[in-house]
Amino acid sequence: MIESFLRGRVTVTVGDITQQRVDAIVNAANSTLLGGGGVDGAIHRAGGSQILEECREIRRSRFPEGLPTGEAVITSGGNLPAPYVIHTVGPIRGAEGGRDVELLAACYWNSLALAVQHNLSSVAFPSISTGAYRYPREEAAAVSSKAIEDFLTADNTLKQVRLVFYQMGDARLFSENHKFRNGA
């Protein structure tokens, strides 16, 4: 663990999201919910076919047109250490008609709300949209930290929100650009 905020409720770490031992890990999915590369590919590879089957059922029964950007859905974790996966679709930089910030914040807010609805107490996020979706890491740090702090200020059930970066450099960029008000 590299850094913590909000009296330890938020922690920053470097690692692989698929190996996090929390109640739910968040997937940086696309609207098809049928897998992809990056985080999405890693989670489906490590989690196994059960996750994909549940995603297909969610598409069939609730989102035939695909999961809208900013929304979140939950499946089991399959073979993952985490019992649940929360799938959310991040904004593609420059392709959301100027709604990038609002949609990225919605990914974090809606994922946390879903965790609370399922009585979970620990959630791990990758850095949503900062890979294939080309969201600048510095800007994403400001948006994600503000959304997380706003949510946790109003909620007292979530005990741990872990921000998992794949590279130390990404974690450092986050540390330099986050907007958390309360210290460690």
* Catalytic residue ranges: 40
As a whole number of angstroms, the distance between CA 144 and CA 139 comes to 9
Among 24, 38, 86, 173, interactor with ligand APR by CB under 6 A: 38
Shortest distance, position 120 Cβ to ligand APR, whole Å? 19
Full strand arrangement of the beta sheet holding 160-165: 3-5, 10-14, 160-165, 122-125, 24-29, 84-89, 72-76
Q: Determine, following the binding rule CB under 6 A, whether residue 54 of this chain makes contact with ligand APR.
A: no
Q: Which CB sits closer to ligand APR, 151 or 166?
A: 166
Stretch that binds ligand APR, among 97-105, 111-119, 164-172, 176-184 (CB under 6 A): 164-172
Phi first, then psi: give them for residue 73, nearest 5 degrees. Answer: -135, 165
Q: 10-14 and 3-5 as β-strands: parallel, antiparallel, unpaired?
A: antiparallel
Among 75, 110, 111, 127, interactor with ligand APR by CB under 6 A: 127
As a whole number of angstroms, the distance between CA 26 and CA 40 comes to 9
Shortest distance, position 67 Cβ to ligand APR, whole Å? 11
Q: Mask 133-162, x = binds ligand APR (CB under 6 A)?
A: x-----------------------------
Q: Which CB sits closer to ligand APR, 93 or 157?
A: 93
Q: Determine, following the binding rule CB under 6 A, whether residue 24 of this chain makes contact with ligand APR.
A: no
DSSP symbols for 24-35: EEEEEE-TT-S-
- Residue of closest CB approach to ligand APR: 36
Q: Which amino acid is at 144?
A: S
Which of 2, 8, 11 shows the shortest CA–CA distance to 163? 11
Site residues for ligand APR per CB under 6 A: 16-18, 28-30, 36-42, 90, 126-133, 164, 166, 170
